Structure formats: C-alpha cells, structure tokens
C-alpha cells in the first residue's frame, strides 16, 4: 500500500499568514493527489484534485503543487474560515490512502 505522510501534524498561524502543508507519498503517484478540508463535526470538503486543480468555488488563496512523491498545499493569506484539518489523499492505485491530517489552528 502507498503511505501518505503529511507535515506538520499541526500548526498555529494568524489571519493573513501564508501556510504551507507538505504531503509525501511512499512511492510515485504521478499527479493523482487530492486535498480535503474538514471542520469539527462536519464531513470533509473537497478542495483540489490532480495536485494543483482547484475545485469550482474554492477560493484562489488555496493552491496545490507537486508531482511524483512530493506535494504541497498552500494558503496564501489565511482567513478565519480556513482554520480546519487538511488531508491529502492518493487516488493513483487501490487501496486509496489518506495522509494523517494537518490541523491548522489559530495562534
């Protein structure tokens, strides 16, 4: 199985900060990397597919990059509604696997 490792596991930031989350795959997944946002008590929300393509309606302050085994999710200017947990997920091969999550908290 492909292991997905996110770093950091948690971070504290302020409104307006730039935030970057890293996701690494244990083997090449080419560009088959998705990102999700989850707020407490809610279902995950899909943000980005194919490493860098934003879902319709996702604010442009979110961006994704990377390929093969190394990927990043960036938020250019953190907004109050962005405080949440973020997960990466590979859909390159079954079984699909998620990273362990990165909690973005208010500093």
The region of 18-26, 60-68, 74-82, 98-106 touching another protein under the rule CB under 8 A is 98-106
Assess 57 for contact with another protein (CB under 8 A): no
Residues 6+ apart with CB under 8 A from 45: 36, 37, 38, 39
Assess 96 for contact with another protein (CB under 8 A): yes
Structure tokens given for 3: 């292991």
> Could you give the CA distance from residue 83 to residue 93 in angstroms, rounded to a whole number?
30
Assess 61 for contact with another protein (CB under 8 A): no
> Could you give the CA distance from residue 32 to residue 65 in angstroms, rounded to a whole number?
11
The contact set with another protein (CB under 8 A) reads 1, 31-32, 34, 36, 38, 43-46, 49-50, 53, 55, 87, 89, 91, 94-101
């Amino acid at each position: 199985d492909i292991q997905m490792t996110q770093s950091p596991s948690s971070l504290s930031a302020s409104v307006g900060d730039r935030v970057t989350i890293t996701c690494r795959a244990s083997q090449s997944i080419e560009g088959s990397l998705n990102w999700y946002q989850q707020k407490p008590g809610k279902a995950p929300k899909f943000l980005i597919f194919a490493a860098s393509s934003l879902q319709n309606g996702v604010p442009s302050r979110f961006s994704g990059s990377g390929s093969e085994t190394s990927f990043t999710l960036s938020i250019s200017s953190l907004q109050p509604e962005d405080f949440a947990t973020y997960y990466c997920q590979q859909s390159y091969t079954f079984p699909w696997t998620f990273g362990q999550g990165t909690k973005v908290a208010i500093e």
